Each structure stands twice: as C-alpha cells, then as structure tokens.
Chains A and B, each alone.
Chain A
Amino acid sequence: MRASNVTKAVALALSVAWVAGCSTSGSDSMSGTETGTDTGTTQGVNNGTGVTGSSMSDVANLQTVFYFDFDKSVVKANGFSDLEKHAAYLAANPSAQVVLEGHADERGTREYNMALGERRAKAVSRFLQVNGASGSQVESVSFGEEKPEILGHSESSWSQNRRVELKYVSR
C-alpha cells in the first residue's frame, strides 16, 4: 500500500549515502544533482542524519504517521518532536491545512473502532493546537479499521495499523 514518509526518508537516506559513496570515485556532478533536491549538499549525509534535519519551513521530511497502543489514544513521545515542527509550520503558515486520518487495528468492533480512530486523530489535533496550530487548520477524519496499512492478523500488522496519518491539504 502507501509507503510512509518515514520509509521514503530511509530510502532517500540510503540512496544519498550510496550516491555519496559513488562520488568518492569521482562523479561530483552526479552526486550534486541527486542530493541537491532535498538537502542541497553532499556534506554531512554520509551518516544519513542530514535528511531528517530539515528546517521549520520545510515539513516534507517530517514524520507523518504516528502510532498508538491497543485501545489507547495517547500520542507517544517519539512523535512529539516532529509534531511540534508540524505545529510550528501551521502557526507560521495560516493558509496551510492538514487532515488527520485516524485508524484502528482490526480487533474489536467496527463502529467502536471508528470512535477510537477519531479519538486518536483528535489527540494529535489537540497536540498540534497546543503547539500553535489553529483549530481551523486541522480536520480529523476516522476510518476505524476500514483502511489497514498492512493486511494481516498479528501484532506486527496491528501495530502498523493503529495510527494517525497527517496529510497536508494545502501548504
């Protein structure tokens, strides 16, 4: 199904590292064009960390999928940093808008999971608003268990499906 931005970022980091590796054997122009699109420099990417260090004005590389525990709607601490950056971006760009799509894993009943998906989306919404986004910039939509990211009946799938996806409608 859809690759999350985290996956994309990892893929990008790997390709950048690969290209950077190539550049040691001499093709500077190539590495410049490959890496210039996102980070603008070949320096500092050899360890892969340069990709996530984007500026506040650029939310393209931030985490956009946030995961939850079973029957819980508490935003986990590992998402705080990027959510704060999304919030700061929204605060700085009043015309920007996001939709928060809340999802649940398949366990439990479907309509209860609709409510749970909404509760998760609203937890992220509150986090964004506390950190500077305005309520009119954030909309929550629940899909319950209807749109799993991963099909499967074990915790490895379920943990990927209990999530909120943050999507920019306008930037």
Chain B
Amino acid sequence: MKKVFQLLLINCVLLLSSWSSAESDLAIEITKGIDEPTPVAVVPFAWDGNSALKEDVAKIVSADLGRTGLFKMMSPQNMLSFPSKEDQVYFRDWRVSKTEFLIIGRQIAAEGRQIKVEFELYDVLKEQRLLLERVSGTQDNLRDVAHYISDMIYQKLTGIRGAFSTRIVYVTAKQLGQGKVNYRLKMADSDGARPVTIRQQSEPLMSPAWSRDGTKLAYVSFESGKPAIYIQYLATGKREKVQSFRGLNGAPSWSPSGNKLAIVLSKDGNPEIYVLDLNSRSLSRITHHYGIDTEPSWSPDGQSLIFTSDRGGQPQIYRIHLPTRQLERVTFEGNYNSRGRLTHDGRFLAMVHRGIDNVFHIAVQDLKTGRLDVLTDTYLDESPTIAPNGSIILYATQKGVKGVLGGVTLDGNVRFILPASSGDVREPAWSPYLQ
C-alpha cells in the first residue's frame, strides 16, 4: 500500500522549471472538437541514455489527447521528420500535413535512474512556441511524467484543467469454478494502465466511491455474508466498517465537504436515502416513500442529492434539495433512468438509460435545456463515472461475454474501450484531481 500511496499522492513528478512563452493563452473552442478535431502531432521524444526506456512518453501523451475527442493525433509513420529541438522544426513540413499543433521533446538521462523530460508545444500556423517545460522523474514513473505533460498541454490548448494524472478504481470478478469467485477492487491510471489490487475477497464487492480529497474509498462488501459499508484509506490500506444495519447498506456517496456520506438503508422497512455525518455519526433520513429510493449522488454545491426512485412506477431520477426537502423529478424520457452522476459544474446529468429499444445505454441530459442524448451503442451499459474535468465518461459494458470498461466523450463523439484486465470488469469510479 505504501507504494500506491506514493504513486497516488506524491506522484514523484516535480516541475523543476517552467517558462511559458509570453503569448496570450490559446483556448480551443470545445465545440470545435465535435465535428472537426484539431490536428496535433506528438513527435517521438529523443533519448540520450544507453538502455531502452520502458515507456514511450510521446505515445502515451498522444493517446491521452486523442481520447478526449478534441484532437486528431498524427501517427509517427506519417511524419516527414522527427525533430526533438527547436532548430530541427520546419513549420512548412507540418503545415503541409495540416498539423495545427506540434509537440516535440527530449529525455535526458540524469544520475541513477533519474530522468529529465523537456518538451515544447508549437502553434504551427503562427510558428510560435506556446510551452517549453522541463519535468523530472525517474525511468520507473514515466507514465506519471507522460500524464503530467498531457495535463499541461491540454490545459494550454483548451483552457480546461487536464485530468490525465488521475486514477480510476473498479471491481473485477473472476470465476474460479465450482461457484467460487475472486472479487477485487483495483486502482489504475486514468487510461487503465498499471492496475493495482487494493482489496480482494471471495464475497462480492460493489459501489466504490472516492472521497473528494482522493485519500479514501467507500464501498459495499459482503464479506460478512450481508452487505455492509466500509471505508478504506488508500495510503495505509486500513479499513473501517461504517454501517451495517439489518437489510440493505449500500450506494455510498461522499459529500463535497468530505464529512458526510449519503447512503441507502432499508432498516426502516424499504430502501431509503440517509445522510451519515462521519464526525458525529448521526444519521438523518432524507427520503420517505414506500418505493425504492437508491443511488444517491451529491450535487457539486452539496445542497442537493440526485437519486433513483421507482415511486412513479419505473426507475427515474429525482433531485431533493436538502435544506428545504423539496423534491423534483429530473428525467422523463425513457422507461428506466438510474444511477445519475452530475458533471462538476452541475450542468449535465450522466445516467443509465433505457429507451424504446429496451437496451441499457449511457445517456446525458442537459439540465438547462432538458435535452437527453444517448451516448453509447454498446450493450448492458452501466455505472457511468465522469472525469473531474467533465471531458470523458467511463462506464461498464459488455464485450462478447466479458465485462469491460468503455469511455465516451460527453458529446458522444469519441468512444473507446479500455484495455481489459483479467476477469469481468465493472463499476468504474473516477478519482477527483489528486494534486
């Protein structure tokens, strides 16, 4: 666990120096990415060391940017040259291939396994340098270095903070035969690489949820034979059982302030939503209805909870304003809408949606206009989770007979499947920003 802690919190990437060019910040209109992704080239970075590096930083950066749907990444085999320094850049060559932004870099060996990575971002049309940065790391954390570089480039180009240096957690279930199953809670980079098991057991694990400071997870475990809510500290691996009443104990969601958990309990007869104050351990009941009320999730301002209820006859998403307990129904289109998650600006609601085709997809509703868009064309989609900058929704889906993680941009334009790890993969949860 110590290793995980270091990766997660310290991240070992230090910005030694930063001298951005004096030009004004350049922000690409997000909407431009929808129909016309901006052409960008990341040239393979030079390396002056003796032994081969384990990771291709330029390739990771290119994949990061490409997944956002805003950029069309040039494959190295289509590049006319491989500059790694400013005096090797011929803008004309890049203009010919319609590249709008160019990233070059060099990796310099330092003492031991230390490494310095310098990279430059150019506006090809203006022939201007937008960024020149040096990042230091080690040969063993080049993926952290790469995601850090992606974050800086993304921010420079879009004006939006990058979320590549974040983590995801998810649950896997591996059939061992004779009805035995190995359940694991895993954590990986935002691109699915470097998975680490942070909990494994023979009884189901479900509903992992990050605390807003990124130091803890809450989840549901059946290790006692019944569902109970646990909190696990990522740094130490220490766990505590926070709730196990008779009946359901589920669907934990951390408040933005970090000191409360919205949970579902059926101790009073049927599933209701409660808020547990983690300091005082006091419990306050939020919903009062004989139907199913579940899957609470906080609004970014902490003033309301969205949740799933079948009080109208079928599962739909509702919002309850906590100070007034005023209730409103949010979703109307489709015959099954559940497990809503709001973007961090509160504008969009991602959910599991079943419409007239009776297939479960991920959909997004614009809460300002009410417009609902189905984003996925996969099958049995569930558990949407949104990147902290709102750029990508990850979700669980089926590929063949296996559960895998899929990703889709908020506009539905770019869809991808994350590399599968062993076993059925489910219930992704995207971390907040970790630095």
Which residues of A are interface residues toward B (Cβ below 8 A)? 1-2, 71, 106-112, 114-116, 118-119, 122, 140-144, 146-147, 151-153
B315 — which chain A residues lie within 8 A by C-beta?
A: 108-109, 112
A71 — which chain B residues lie within 8 A by C-beta?
A: 314
A140 — which chain B residues lie within 8 A by C-beta?
A: 247
Q: Are B207 and A111 in contact (CB under 8 A)?
A: yes
- Residues 397-435 of chain B, each 1 if its beta carbon lies under 8 Å from chain A, else 0: 010010000000000000000000000001100000000
A114 — which chain B residues lie within 8 A by C-beta?
A: 206, 227, 248, 250-251, 264, 271, 294
Q: Does B352 contact A (CB under 8 A)?
A: yes
A1 — which chain B residues lie within 8 A by C-beta?
A: 178-179
Q: Does B319 contact A (CB under 8 A)?
A: no
A53 to B122, CA, bound (A): 84
Asked if A115 meets B294 with Cβ closer than 8 Å, knowing A108-B336, A109-B382, A146-B204, the reply is yes
Near A by CB (< 8 A), chain B positions 247-274 give 247-248, 250-251, 264, 266, 270-271
Q: Are B207 and A151 in contact (CB under 8 A)?
A: no
Q: Are B427 and A110 in contact (CB under 8 A)?
A: yes
Q: Are A111 and B295 in contact (CB under 8 A)?
A: yes
Q: Are B248 and A118 in contact (CB under 8 A)?
A: yes
**Shortest beta-carbon distance from B244 to chain A in Å:** 12
Q: Are B250 and A111 in contact (CB under 8 A)?
A: yes
Q: Are A153 and B398 in contact (CB under 8 A)?
A: yes
A116 — which chain B residues lie within 8 A by C-beta?
A: 292
The answer, among B225, B270, B292, B401, for a CB contact under 8 Å with A112, is: B292
The answer, among A109, A141, A147, A152, for a CB contact under 8 Å with B226, is: A141
Most chain B beta-carbon contacts within 10 A, residue among A1, A112, A116: A112
**Shortest beta-carbon distance from A109 to chain B in Å:** 4
Near A by CB (< 8 A), chain B positions 182-231 give 204, 206-207, 222, 225-227
The answer, among A2, A112, A147, for a CB contact under 8 Å with B204, is: A147
Q: Which 5 A-B pairs have the closest CB atoms?
A: A146-B204, A115-B292, A1-B179, A111-B251, A109-B339
B247 — which chain A residues lie within 8 A by C-beta?
A: 118, 140, 142
Q: Are B294 and A108 in contact (CB under 8 A)?
A: no
A58 to B339, CA, bound (A): 44
Q: Does B308 contact A (CB under 8 A)?
A: yes
Q: Does B338 contact A (CB under 8 A)?
A: yes
Question: Can you report 29 A-B residue pairs in the complex whose CB atoms are below 8 A from each other?
Answer: A1-B179, A107-B380, A108-B336, A108-B338, A108-B352, A109-B315, A109-B338, A109-B339, A109-B382, A110-B426, A110-B427, A111-B206, A111-B207, A111-B250, A111-B294, A112-B292, A112-B315, A112-B339, A114-B206, A114-B251, A114-B264, A115-B292, A118-B266, A118-B270, A119-B270, A146-B204, A146-B206, A153-B380, A153-B398
A115 to B247, CA, bound (A): 10
**Shortest beta-carbon distance from B217 to chain A in Å:** 16
A141 — which chain B residues lie within 8 A by C-beta?
A: 225-227
Most chain B beta-carbon contacts within 10 A, residue among A111, A114, A140, A146: A111
A112 — which chain B residues lie within 8 A by C-beta?
A: 292, 294-295, 308, 310, 315, 338-339
Which residues of B are interface residues toward A (Cβ below 8 A)? 175, 178-179, 204, 206-207, 222, 225-227, 247-248, 250-251, 264, 266, 270-271, 292, 294-295, 308, 310, 314-315, 336, 338-339, 352, 354, 360, 379-380, 382-383, 398, 401, 426-427
B204 — which chain A residues lie within 8 A by C-beta?
A: 143, 146-147
Closest Cβ neighbor of A117 among chain B residues: B248
A126 to B194, CA, bound (A): 49
A152 — which chain B residues lie within 8 A by C-beta?
A: 401
B401 — which chain A residues lie within 8 A by C-beta?
A: 151-153
A59 to B81, CA, bound (A): 80
**Shortest beta-carbon distance from B165 to chain A in Å:** 28
A2 to B179, CA, bound (A): 7
A151 to B225, CA, bound (A): 21
A110 to B208, CA, bound (A): 12
Q: A108-B360, A151-B175, A153-B380 are in contact. List 4 more A-B contacts (CB 8 A).
A: A108-B336, A114-B264, A119-B270, A151-B401
Q: Are A110 and B225 in contact (CB under 8 A)?
A: no
The answer, among A2, A106, A109, for a CB contact under 8 Å with B352, is: A109
A109 to B292, CA, bound (A): 13
B352 — which chain A residues lie within 8 A by C-beta?
A: 108-109
A122 — which chain B residues lie within 8 A by C-beta?
A: 270
**Shortest beta-carbon distance from B265 to chain A in Å:** 11
B380 — which chain A residues lie within 8 A by C-beta?
A: 106-107, 153
A2 — which chain B residues lie within 8 A by C-beta?
A: 179
Q: Are A118 and B271 in contact (CB under 8 A)?
A: yes
A27 to B84, CA, bound (A): 90
**Shortest beta-carbon distance from B360 to chain A in Å:** 6
Closest Cβ neighbor of B180 among chain A residues: A1
B179 — which chain A residues lie within 8 A by C-beta?
A: 1-2
Closest Cβ neighbor of B296 among chain A residues: A111
A111 to B429, CA, bound (A): 14
A144 to B401, CA, bound (A): 20
Closest Cβ neighbor of B401 among chain A residues: A153
